Amino acid sequence: MSGTVRTRQVGPAGIHQPGYKALAVRVAFDATLFDEPTTGIALAAREVAAGLLRAGVSVEAWGARHSGRFPRRGQSKTLWTLTRLPRLLAQERPPLFHATANFNLPLGRVPGVAFVLTVHDVVPLLLPDTVSTAFRWQFQAWLARSLTVAHRIICVSQTAKDSVLERFDVDASKLTVVHHGVDHVERVSRADAISRAWLDTLGLPARFVLYAGALDARKNVELVLAAMERLARKGPAPALVLAGQRWFGAGAIERRIDELVQRGVKVHALGYLHETVFYELMRRATAFVFPSRYEGFGLPPLEAMALGVPTIVSTAGSLPEICAEGAQAVAPDDAEGLAHTLWTLLHSEAERTKWSEKGVARARVFRWDTAAERTLAVYRQALADAAEGDGGLIGASRGGHEPSGGR
């Protein structure tokens, strides 16, 4: 993905202003997740890059598996970033490099290149049992170093920013909150006849509850299963549909699913779905549940809200910040509360209509062009910082620490 600077004149908040010039420099953009199965972080990186191009910025996608500039082919993302990327930056000298995947900057600065880092969350430090020990140590050490070498840092929510500041000694003035957009759901092609027919063959009832996300220990799928079990005790319960790939800790969740199915609870685990099929499934859902124990942003519930699906989230992490009045919320350990909220939605058309409308209204706030313009403002700050020289520049992190108790 590359382009030349266009003449469209855009203000820092997405306002088209006479005399305002687009950023007239090349941006080397971290594309290491571009050719991988879509996750929230990968989707966000692609959408920000596309928004920057629409704003007239020359964006070059670096490090994708096959596409863009300098594809890494079979090389791992970690090895490419730590070994090949620093050499490429020294040779090519793009004015700015933007690392988009939480902690993946080179270990040292490159003269003449401004570094911007996007931090999505600090899950391995907050919930250490939800990742492998090796990844937790890699995350902590590499993020601490990336916070040091970054000229500017984008956090995808105030929650993510607060989490960084609580655990790392980094100057708060380096951090800027830039929310994601959600209007990509408006641009995804509708499912074709074959995809719709495939969904029809699943035999899903007219009313079903959807969870979308990885089968990940921190996503709290167990709470959804417990709520569905309670609903089944009250009488015929709707089906639960799970859409998402296996992740760390999935084994225990899958055993619990098998246990409930044997008891007659209807659970359909569909795995990873192509986006056109996934959004068609989401549109059909009666309710969407996402009671995660921690999110740095939380795209899936915002996508459901944008599509008019009544949504229930947890009171943890960024979910109250992002979903706000557009979704109902329950505590992450309140299975009874989730069951009651689901029962009300499933049995009241008026409630479903109310929460559908509230969700759509809230989702309209989040636009990718706004995210791109705010990212562009951060780029300008980073370029100015780099021009001042790297010695003693702004604040630098001295390292990370976990909160007491490891939580």
Tens of pLDDT, residues 257-301: 888 888 888 999 998 898 899 999 999 999 999 999 999 999 999
Count of other CB atoms within 10 angstroms of residue 90 = 13
* Residues 44 and 156: beta-carbon distance below 8 Å: yes
Question: For position 217, what pLDDT does the model report?
Answer: 76
- Is the predicted pLDDT of residue 50 greater than 50, yes or no? yes
Does residue 2 lie in a domain region?
no
Does residue 3 lie in a domain region?
no
More confident site: 355 or 260: 355
Q: Are residues 168 and 285 in the same domain?
A: no
Q: How far apart are CA 298 and CA 40, in angstroms?
A: 8
Q: How far apart are CA 264 and CA 252, in angstroms?
A: 19
Q: Are residues 211 and 75 in the same domain?
A: no
Q: How far apart are CA 33 and CA 37, in angstroms?
A: 8
Question: For position 72, what pLDDT does the model report?
Answer: 95
Q: Are residues 355 and 377 in the same domain?
A: no
Residue type, 302: L
Q: Which of 70-79, 251-260, 266-275 reaches the highest mean pLDDT?
A: 70-79
Q: Are residues 162 and 197 in the same domain?
A: no
Q: Are residues 358 and 381 in the same domain?
A: no
Q: Are residues 236 and 87 in the same domain?
A: no
Start-to-end CA distance of the chain, whole Å, equals 39
- Is the predicted pLDDT of residue 334 greater than 60, yes or no? yes
- Is the predicted pLDDT of residue 203 greater than 90, yes or no? no
Does residue 209 lie in a domain region?
yes
Does residue 265 lie in a domain region?
yes
- Is the predicted pLDDT of residue 3 greater than 70, yes or no? no
> How large a percentage of the chain has pLDDT more than 90?
72
What is the three-class DSSP state of 331? coil
The neighbouring-strand residues paired with 27 are 59, 96
Task: Tell me the per-residue pLDDT of 141-169, one tens digit each, with 9 for 90 and over.
Answer: 999 999 999 999 999 999 999 999 999 99
Identify the H or E element spanning 375. Answer: helix 368-387
Question: For position 174, what pLDDT does the model report?
Answer: 97
Q: Are residues 199 and 325 in the same domain?
A: yes
**Residue positions counted in the chain:** 407
Domain that holds residue 308: 191-363
Mean of pLDDT over the chain: 88
Does residue 10 lie in a domain region?
no
Does residue 12 lie in a domain region?
no
Please give the tally of structural domains in the chain.
Answer: 2
What is the three-class DSSP state of 210? strand
Does residue 16 lie in a domain region?
no
Q: How far apart are CA 362 and CA 364, in angstroms?
A: 5
**CATH assignment at residue 146:** 3.40.50.2000
Q: Are residues 239 and 322 in the same domain?
A: yes
Beta pairing, strands 267-271 & 287-290: unpaired
Q: How far is CA 182 from CA 18, 40, 190, in A?
A: 28, 11, 16
Question: For position 363, what pLDDT does the model report?
Answer: 98
Q: Are residues 87 and 226 in the same domain?
A: no
- Is the predicted pLDDT of residue 402 greater than 80, yes or no? no
Q: Are residues 261 and 355 in the same domain?
A: yes
Q: Up-side HSE of residue 182: CA atoms within 13 Å toward CB?
A: 24
* Residues 148 and 399: beta-carbon distance below 8 Å: no
Q: Are residues 281 and 384 in the same domain?
A: no
CA-wise closest residue to 218 among 306, 314, 311: 314
